[in-house]
Amino acid sequence: MLLGALLAFSAGARAEVEVTESDFFDELPVVLSVSRLSQPVDEAPAAVTVIDQDMIRTSGFRDIPDLLRMVPGFSVAYTADNTWAAGYHGLGDAFSRRFQVLVDGRSIYSPHYGAVYWTDLPLAIEDIERIEVIRGPNAATHGANAFAAVINIITKTAAQVSGSTASLQYGEQGMRGLMARHGGGHGNLRYRLTVSSQQRDRFERDVTDKPPVSQDNGQHFEASKTYFLNGRMDWQLSPTADVSAQFGISQGDWRAGQDTMDPTDVLAPRQQDSRAQYVQVSLHKVESAQREWRLHAYHSRNRFDANAIGDLTLLGLGVVSVDQYLLQTRSNLELQVNETWRSDLRGVWGGEIRYDTVVSPQNYDSDRELGGTLARVFGNAEWRAHERVLIQGGAMLEHHYYTGSDISPRVAVSFTLAPGQVVRLGVSQAYRSPTFFEEEGSAVYRLTSGALLDMVTVPSNGLEPERVRSREIAWLGQWRPARLEWDMRLFRDHIDDFIGNEKGNFFPDGALRPNEFRYANIGTVDSRGGEIQLRWRPLPAMHVSAHYARVFLRADTSVGNFNEDIPQSAPRNSWGLLTSYRWNGGWETSAGVWHYDRTKWLSEGDVTQPYTRVDLRLARRWAWQGRQVEAALVGQNLGGVYEEFRDINRFSRRVYGSLGFNW
């Protein structure tokens, strides 16, 4: 209905420029992430979705995880305590351990839980050039954690953002945002600096229609304030060499939890302090038309702190001290070499070494630092065997500090049946090594005297890595008379040695709870289904992107609740639509519709009911006193209230406005 209304309006609107075929079909997007080779999307060896700047702007989303709603097969939800959950073809939980997430080549997943801490990521949404989402395993290129998907966030270079920019957002549900950026430089040296302050209160605080749980009085808080600064410097050393350096720092002052009359709930900290820092340097050299290389290094540090004192003397237990201190670091060095050996044969190879550390006294019942070194070598090749046949293959050999050595291969063959019509067949294998917490987690509560009160998680008995074998057939095509492009895909994945938590009486003495949790390889998971994404340009001023996914899951594990929950962890049907139209006078309208069937989020999540979310955006751009100005009004979830991750997480209708200046 929304699409039909926009088409009706557009039929009466005057086109701003003369329509030509090139207006509808420029060159297909070129992606860098799938094989580390620059290639059009219809020649990539795996399915990929490109979220470009126009899609980011017209969506009206202000939180980076929300952008994944535009990717077929993805589910995304805010969980609690200022964290996000994401799932691709199901298996989504509070930690999203099965994704590799990169920002300009820097891995940002947590070595502790495997989670991605989106909320304190020191990155403004305005600084994103594009996001490349590889749908399916891609360990042959990116190694451990590239298990279900890869999300590669590529930021704007310093040269792209010369001048100054400021933007302000203000809206309901405690939404406040301020961003300022300046880019400049001289000669071959360019830089940009961005500073931002963001405030959110994600959900409705009062949830009074749910039956009491642990004497919950229905007051829930997720208010957050996050501040960050980042910078980038790009220096062209010579016509064939350049260096790029980046840094970022963030500070989060967050409130979480709920008001309750249950005395044991005082163990949940209400205030959270989060800090993140990173620095990275990349040196790029073109030696010849046949060879270039890049040396990339970074160091990141994430610290989280939340404390609480629980007085349980009325229960005869004493005073409990809760210290959720967590410190994680990562140091990484990578070499990548791209070579062209013949006109029909090229490839990329390289290696990487990484050192991760974690300190968390409550999660490991020790002050000691856990650390581990990961090393990997990789190679990918592309051979044009015939003008209509493209063969690609590669592998990653990796040695992980817990699971030893594994090899992750991939082979894909693309057939050009006719101009603009490509069929791809692919098979790949990927591994996911356990995180520090899965392998050695020992979460406990202790009294202020040091005595053990409760043991929640005990270390594993030694975990094998999860392994997925994935097969796909895809059809990428264009229908020029209809000005339509599509990417259709059927997939079948099989996971062995799935890692889940099991409950048992491992340490029966001295704990409040008779059972503890530990992680184990509990069985297998099968996933199959199909997905489609479309891009349509019926008019030069109009853009439509749409997607649909249908997924079926089956689990065969030793833990009964996983056999029940995993098949429900992917919405059976999900789809999305984003359409925008540029009017005369600088006006622009856009609409987004997102639908998810019933979903069961794993671990701490609940069953969330089906919902359809409708967002609308109205914006105008104009020049004022030498400045480019954009004002926008965004309405989010203009239908009914829906639930995210937990049934108490109520996302209601809300509106915000934004104002931006460029000069």
Pairwise CA distance, residues 468 & 526, whole Å: 9
* Per-residue pLDDT tens over the stretch 476-522: 999 999 999 999 999 999 999 999 999 877 765 555 556 789 999 99
- Closest-CA residue to 119 (of 198, 221, 179): 198
Q: Is the pLDDT of residue 287 over 50?
A: yes
Secondary structure (DSSP) of 607-658: EE--EEEEEEEEEEEEEETTEEEEEEEEEE--SS-EEESEEEEEE--EEEEE
Q: Is the pLDDT of residue 216 over 60?
A: no
In the chain, the largest separation of any two C-alpha atoms, in whole Å, equals 80
Are the C-beta atoms of 520 and 460 separated by less than 8 Å? yes
Are the C-beta atoms of 131 and 50 separated by less than 8 Å? yes
Pairwise CA distance, residues 628 & 620, whole Å: 11
Pairwise CA distance, residues 235 & 565, whole Å: 51
Give me the pLDDT at residue 323, please: 83
Q: What confidence category does residue 221 fall into, taking pLDDT thresholds of 50, 70 and 90?
A: low
Are the C-beta atoms of 172 and 656 separated by less than 8 Å? yes
Q: Is the pLDDT of residue 248 over 80?
A: yes
Residue at token pair 């293959």: 393
Are the C-beta atoms of 430 and 467 separated by less than 8 Å? yes
Residue at token pair 């994404």: 533
Give me the pLDDT at residue 209, please: 58
Tokens representing 297 are: 């290094």
Q: Is the pLDDT of residue 47 over 60?
A: yes
- pLDDT: which is higher, 107 or 450: 107
Mean pLDDT of the region 136-157:
94
- Closest-CA residue to 545 (of 529, 533, 562, 557): 533
CATH, domain range 2-169+348-662: 2.40.170.20
Q: What confidence category does residue 7 fall into, taking pLDDT thresholds of 50, 70 and 90?
A: very low
Pairwise CA distance, residues 78 & 69, whole Å: 12
Please state, rounded to an integer, the average pLDDT across all residues of the chain.
89
Q: Domain segments of the chain: what residues?
A: 2-169+348-662
Mean pLDDT of the region 268-277:
83
* Per-residue pLDDT tens over the stretch 294-314: 999 999 999 998 887 777 776
Are the C-beta atoms of 84 and 65 separated by less than 8 Å? yes
Report field, pTM of the whole predicted structure over 0.85: yes
Pairwise CA distance, residues 570 & 92, whole Å: 8
Are the C-beta atoms of 466 and 500 separated by less than 8 Å? no
Pairwise CA distance, residues 75 & 86, whole Å: 6
* Per-residue pLDDT tens over the stretch 567-604: 999 999 999 999 999 999 999 999 999 999 999 999 87
Give me the pLDDT at residue 515, please: 75
Q: Is the pLDDT of residue 11 over 70?
A: no
- pLDDT: which is higher, 169 or 645: 169
Give me the pLDDT at residue 17, please: 35
Give me the pLDDT at residue 261, please: 46
Are the C-beta atoms of 375 and 398 separated by less than 8 Å? yes
Pairing of the two strands 47-52 and 326-342: unpaired
* Per-residue pLDDT tens over the stretch 415-455: 999 999 999 999 999 999 999 999 999 988 888 888 888 88
Give me the pLDDT at residue 313, please: 73
* Per-residue pLDDT tens over the stretch 367-423: 999 999 999 999 999 999 999 999 999 999 999 999 999 999 999 999 999 999 999
- Closest-CA residue to 129 (of 5, 21, 33): 33
Tokens representing 357 are: 């550390």
Give me the pLDDT at residue 207, please: 63
Q: Is the pLDDT of residue 23 over 60?
A: no
Give me the pLDDT at residue 268, please: 67
- Closest-CA residue to 599 (of 659, 649, 657): 649
Q: What are phi and psi of 137, to 5 degrees?
A: -60, 140
Pairwise CA distance, residues 490 & 479, whole Å: 20
- Name the percent of the chain lying above pLDDT 90: 72
- The number of helices, as runs of H, and strands, as runs of E, in the chain is 7, 41
Pairwise CA distance, residues 663 & 660, whole Å: 10
* Per-residue pLDDT tens over the stretch 52-97: 999 999 999 999 999 999 999 999 998 877 788 999 999 988 887 8
